[in-house]
Amino acid sequence: MIRAWAGFAALGAGLIHLALVIGSPVAAAVPLAAVGALEFGWGVLAVAGPRAPLPRVMRIAVLVPLAVWIITLLTGLAPGLGVRILPMLVASLLDVAISVTLSLLLRRPDRPPLTARRYLVGVAAGAVVVIALAAPALAATEAASLGGTSPLPLAPHGH
């Protein structure tokens, strides 16, 4: 269950970082795209696989975007990069959650198995928390404002 929580958090952080690429200058877009792709890919592997890949590396790697963001805020570079605060704050919170959950996983790798019901409730709760955090953050990105209308109408027009 803890592995799934880390995976969901990585999927959320990765989506937010990838959404921030749109409308960002190249100096911010390239690292955001790289971090977002890494987080999203790792999240897929963590959720779908039997164990979290490279947990010792990832628990530190996910803190790098947070450290860079703090440095850009403290040095005054953040406004010039055009990165929005709410999405970066949520992505950073999810990255810290990944690091904490991976640290827990590494401390106690041989936990007794949960019942199927407890496991499913725990996984569902983790997914709901990540969705509740990521949805508003994604809505606050430039990508959301470009969305406009869906190519597939939800209802017939003119009726």
pLDDT at 157 over 50: no
Backbone angles phi, psi at 4, to 5 degrees: -65, -40
One DSSP character per residue, 38-88 reads HHHHHHHHHHHSSS-SSHHHHHHHTTHHHHHHHHHHHHT-HHHHT--HHHH
Q: Quick one: pLDDT band at residue 151, thresholds 50, 70, 90?
A: very low
Query: Is 5 in contact with 46 (CB distance < 8 Å)?
Result: no
Q: Quick one: pLDDT band at residue 144, thresholds 50, 70, 90?
A: confident
Instruction: Answer whether residue 73 is part of any domain.
Output: yes
Instruction: Answer whether residue 152 is part of any domain.
Output: no
Instruction: Answer whether residue 10 is part of any domain.
Output: yes
CA 13 to chain centre: 1
Tally the domains of the chain.
Answer: 1
How far apart CA 129 and CA 137 sit, in angstroms, is 13
Instruction: Answer whether residue 36 is part of any domain.
Output: yes
Enter the pTM of the model: 0.85
pLDDT at 110: 65
The residue with greater pLDDT, 152 or 50, is: 50
pLDDT at 109: 60
Instruction: Answer whether residue 156 is part of any domain.
Output: no
Instruction: Answer whether residue 151 is part of any domain.
Output: no
Q: What is the pLDDT of residues 46-103, one digit of tens each?
A: 999 888 899 999 999 999 999 998 998 888 887 767 778 899 999 999 999 999 999 9
How far apart CA 58 and CA 31 sit, in angstroms, is 16
Instruction: Answer whether residue 150 is part of any domain.
Output: no
Distances (CA, A) of 37 to 24, 33, 43, 91, 99: 16, 6, 10, 13, 17
Instruction: Answer whether residue 44 is part of any domain.
Output: yes
How far apart CA 73 and CA 144 sit, in angstroms, is 24
| Domain, as residue range, for 35 | 2-143
Q: What is the DSSP letter of 157?
A: T
Q: What is the pLDDT of residues 2-35, one digit of tens each?
A: 889 999 999 999 999 999 999 888 988 999 999 9
pLDDT at 122: 86
How far apart CA 55 and CA 155 sit, in angstroms, is 46
